[in-house]
Structure 1
Amino acid sequence: MTKGPLPADLPRGMDLLHTPRLNKGTAFSEEEREALGLVGLLPEGVDTEENRLRRVMLQLDKKSTDMGRYIFLQSLADNDRTLFYKAIMSDPVRFMPIVYTPTVGEACRTYGHIMRRPKGIYLSINRRGRVAEILRNWPEKDIRFIVVTDGERILGLGDLGTNGMGIPIGKLNLYTACAGVPPRMALPVMIDVGTNNEALLRDPLYLGLRQPRVRGPEYDSFLDEFVTAVQEVFPSCCIQFEDFANINAVPLLQRYRDKVCCFNDDIQGTAGVAVAGILAALRMTGKPLAEQQFLFLGAGSAGTGIASLIVQVMQQAGLSEAEARQRCWLFDVNGLLVESRNDLASFQRPFAHAAPPANDFVTAIESLKPTGIIGVSAVPRAFNQLVIEAMARLNERPIIFPYSNPTSHAECTAEEAYRWSEGRAIFASGSPFPPVRLGDRTLIPGQGNNVYIFPAVGLAVFATEATRVTDQMFITAARAVAAQVSEADLAAGLIYPPLSGILEASIHVAVDVARTIFAAGLARVDEPADLEAFIRSRMWQAHYRQLI
């Protein structure tokens, strides 16, 4: 017996089994099977959620590679979305490296080969003038988050064209798994303007436009159309720009950040997680932030984004803007950023200081005497033995952050940083590294993963229906992440909270960010008396719904 009339839009039979957000497979109850036309379409046995999860884990254990596990999990998401999230939320430490970096990098390299069912929206520049119409093809009408890329700078792997769709999909997986953002309100988008990757253009299985990348006014106009169409079709949506090349990433953020609810995770999210790591690291060194000096390897959008946020935090610590900028130095393929260089972009200029040119990174270290080096260059092993040893000579506890992803593009490994610094390095990387045994000590590397920042910021934006995303929200998030690092974590060498507790950590961060949103007058809802209870009430949970 049903408990009343069934919703008119509720699928039945095979249609229901092919609807990932509603499908429960063998966990449909006897009553649901009778009412929804499922009798005979499923084995007689009725599973519990726990038994469904047990079966997933058993099948995963039979996969011999993380790529195989990635493909299996994405297929699971296509079939039973609740079970997919239940699996990855059951063990974040195990599943983060599979659904995101480093495995997602290899998935993007071969995305046209492994794709089984299209996900998200593909916006080809050949369809200009029709973007709003295409967005309306998406079945969900209340989209709150779009992660969008044009595939030109995927992780540290470069131009992967539409193969880069794996990144928006992966980011949105983490919004839900790490912060409970409802998955039906999230939409991955690929802006397809072509690719300059000749290998992809020759690949018969590549599914994007087979043409060189469109640039200039035509590109800018298409992005304008996209942003305008999102406001029209999904007026409560926050746009996350992801993995755009430097020539587009910074201008896009500057153009839209004060007009619509948007942010760039490569710029602001990476900056937030770096600041969180620095604040926690200073609890180890006992030195104030105002006395630190940082040297970046890489002067693109990520490097300048981190430096800009550090400057703001240093200003809050009492330095002037000029004093704070003087403590952030950047080094790129052409050497140290100094005033005499004439090859710098406008967003790099604020960090070009009056100093002699330097074309050798070790020489720059010896001259500037930084307390920390931050790698965002995507140049593997750029923090070589000479670099680490120079930092160790200058600092009792050198801060070494090789943040480039995936693991194969990290500026150094955890073992190299610890061994060459005699175990004194305060280390965090963008992708995970295993514990390192050094003498009679076991050193546990930290992972400066943006997952500590952007899902929590997203949860706060979603709950408060914020109209804008500001840098202060990322500073608040960074402070909240650093505050959750315990003394025991620091003693083990960790400067980020354990990933095993990422959901509760995200709630803590989201509460603080939501408080910042309300204080700035950016919320579209009334501030509740109990902010944490309000945040929790807005979160989606990975449990099957009773359909009748």
Structure 2
Amino acid sequence: MQNKPSFILRNPSANKGTGFSQEERNRYALRGLLPPKQESIKEQSARCYQQFISFQNDLDKYIYLNSLRDRNETLFYHLLMNNLELMFPIVYTPTVGEACQKFGNEFRFAQGMYFASGDKGHMRSMMDNWVNDQVDIIVVSDGSRILGLGDLGTNGMGIPVGKLQLYVAGAGFPPERTLPVIIDAGTNTQKYLNDDFYLGEKHPRLPNDQYYPLVDEFLQAAFDKWPNVLVQFEDFSNDHCFHLLDHYRNKYLCFNDDIQGTGSVILSGFINAVRAVQKPLKDHRLVFLGAGSAGIGVADCIMTLFEEQGVSKEDARKCFWFVDSKGLITTTRGDELTPQKKSYAREDHTAEQQLKTLLEVVKEVKPTALIGLSGIGRSFTQEIVEEMAKHVEKPIIFALSNPTNNAECTAEQAYTWTDGRCIFASGSPFKPVEYKGVVHVPGQGNNMYIFPGLGLGSSLCRAKHVTDEMIITAAKTLSTWVPDQEVLQGKIYPGLKNIRAISTQIAIKVIEKAFEQGMAQIERPESIEALVKSYQYLPEYDQTK
């Protein structure tokens, strides 16, 4: 530390506030600049907790927590880690969505880095402006598809910031080794282009011939600066996300959480849902509403279960039905399908047999599982859910769109319309539901169960790439955290209070898989668990500094 009180008290990674000892106050010229009492971090955290719960509005709570992070990083993470189930919906979904929409209006303190079209040719030198020499993980977004809210442009910075806070709390990445990034390629949302407080470049989104070189320069600069960094793509629009993943996944250490992370966490929930309904996998019929990055990612992961049980891809695909805004996706529908949609397009419907609505598909298919990743709130109507429940003893209903208002149905609706028989999961949290004297605890298929451990394992072993097998391993590891007795009662995800232990176990299994595949680029340690735990950050004051 520099011997300057202004530096110490204004540097969030160095500041301890009232936690500075008397010896430290003398050493760093802090006497008289703080109240006399020295407090432990637990005492400070108790005060911050009381301050947090005093706010009635979730956005105010979000602003409070980020302001705390900006002045005392260690205290922020101590508070967050010890109250994660309470504060997770504030630092991330659903509150982060509102925070992003109001990002320019509520801006207080810059976090992360911004790379705009005007920075073309300068990105590598800009990397040297970052405050820390070592970065282990970058979460990057271009703001083009934030949650289910659409194109927010630079306002999307709240997503990389929040995601990395969860990497720290959930997996133990040291906060100083994380970097949130926005690539500002413009926005097509007119209200932001007209907004005096919008902080991004005010022009429409760049065409592909300018957009892809911009992203490429960023990635080249990042891996030149930090050769062992892991890059997570976050909230890129469907017209770019698949191309970026396909182009870079075998070139750099990277993954797309919306495609692969979502696929993995929902695969884990589906594994347990199949355990809960006790129906052979080959007899399941899955209807998806939404065929974007998340929907295709989930289907691709679930497909691996069929293949492991000896079902050919051709036969497995017959168990999947995808519905988008134009109805059932078929090879005879008459419109141009993206490559991702083509892989799941049905070949057993003529143009005359085309089904136009989700209700029509449910009536014909009689699905065992209804999976929503459409971004369209309340699209699982009572008629649709009750129609499904007529033919299935224990319907699997996953209403996964974020934030909460975009969920295809609420937990209460799902349990009520299925007479309490469904296995339910959502993307954003819902409170427990009491129905006919039974309390049902909704599952939350949130990527936080997967990406912290997947990222930690991939980073620590310096994996060449994040492979499909590593992602499937993460899903299977998560599924084991729910015992059979709880699964049979309809619980398919563990509690978030165990997230650090879950992430640690996922990281260990991912590293083992990386060594098995020849992807790890470190010497195999005597104990992988010891390697993981020795790296993990704990938010406590270091009295030696």
Q: Name the TM-score, length of structure 2 as normaliser.
A: 0.97
2:355 counterpart of 1:362:
no
Deviation at 1:313, TM superposition (A): 2.5
Residue 533 of structure 1 and its aligned partner are, at CA, apart by 2.2
Structure 2: distance between partners of 1:11 and 1:252: 46
How many Å apart are 1:493 and its aligned residue?
A: 2.5
Alignment of 1:468 onto 2:465: yes
Q: How do 1:108-507 residues align onto structure 2 when only pairs under 5 Å count?
A: 108-341=100-333, 342-356=335-349, 357-507=354-504
Q: How does 1:56-67 map to 2 (within 5 A)?
A: 56-67=48-59
- Please tell me the residue identity of whatever aligns with 1:531: I
TM-superposed deviation, 1:11: 5.5
Which residue identity lines up with residue 369 of structure 1 in the other structure? K
The equivalent residue for 1:83 is 75
The letter of the residue matching 1:167 is I
Pair 317,11 (structure 1): closer, same or farther in 2 beyond 3 Å: farther
* Gaps in structure 1 of 5+ consecutive residues: 1-8
Return the alpha-carbon distance in structure 2 between the equivalents of residues 462 and 288 of structure 1.
37
Q: CA deviation at 1:422?
A: 0.5
- C-alpha displacement of 1:10: 4.0
Change (3 A) 1:288 1:181: farther
Q: Aligned partners of 2:168 and 2:217: how far apart in 1? A: 28
Contact 1:444 1:492 in 2 (8 A): no
Deviates more, 1:237-246 or 1:532-541: 532-541
Aligned residue in 2 for 1:5:
none
Q: What is aligned with 1:540? A: 537
**After superposition, what is the alpha-carbon deviation per residue over 1:255-283, rounded to whole angstroms, capped at 9, x for unaligned?**
10010000000000000011000001111
Counterpart of 1:4 in structure 2 is none
Q: Percent identity?
A: 43
Indicate if the aligned counterparts of 1:313 and 1:475 stay in contact, CA closer than 8 A. no
Q: Is the 8 A contact 2:268 2:478 kept in 1?
A: yes
CA-CA distance at 1:536 after TM superposition: 1.1
User: Which structure 1 residue ranges, 4+ long, deviate > 6 Å from structure 2?
Assistant: none
Q: Is the 8 A contact 2:3 2:27 kept in 1?
A: no
Q: Which runs of 5+ in 2 are unaligned?
A: none
User: CA–CA distance in 1 between the matches of 2:158 and 2:304?
Assistant: 33
For 2:68 and 2:2, how far apart are their aligned partners in 1?
21
What is the DSSP-based 3-state SS (H/G/I as helix, E as strand, rest coil) of the residue aligned with 1:348?
helix
Shift of 1:451: 0.4
AA aligned opposite 1:469: V
Tell me, in whole angstroms, the C-alpha distance in 2 between the residues paired with 1:502 and 1:313. 25
Number of residue pairs matched by the alignment: 540
Residues 275 and 488 in structure 2, CA contact (< 8 A), matched pair in contact too? no
Contact 1:272-1:477 at 8 Å conserved across structures: yes
Indicate conservation of the 8 Å contact 2:285/2:368, yes or no.
yes
1: CA distance between counterparts of 2:40 and 2:53?
A: 20
Deviations 1:375-395 (A, max 9, x none): 000001000011111221121
- Structure 1 residue 39: deviation in Å? 1.5
Aligned-partner residue type, residue 238 of structure 1 = L
Please give the alpha-carbon distance, in whole angstroms, between the structure 2 residues aligned to 1:304 and 1:114.
Answer: 35
Q: Does 1:515 align with 2:512?
A: yes
Structure 1 distance, partners of 2:494, 2:278, is 19
Counterpart amino acid of 2:315?
E
Structure 1 residue 127 displacement after superposition: 1.1
Q: Does 1:39 align with 2:39?
A: no
CA contact (8 A) 1:181 1:458 kept: no
Q: Retained in 1: the 8 A contact 2:277–2:488?
A: no
Give distance in 2, aligned partners of 1:474 and 1:372.
22
Shift of 1:491: 4.8
For 1:274, the aligned partner's letter is: I
Matched residue SS, 2:339: coil
Kindly state the Cα deviation for residue 169 of structure 1 after the two structures are TM-superposed: 0.4
Distance 2:135 2:230 in 1: 9
Q: CA deviation at 1:433?
A: 0.5
Deviation at 1:366, TM superposition (A): 2.0
Contact residue 3 and residue 29 of structure 2 kept, 8 A = no
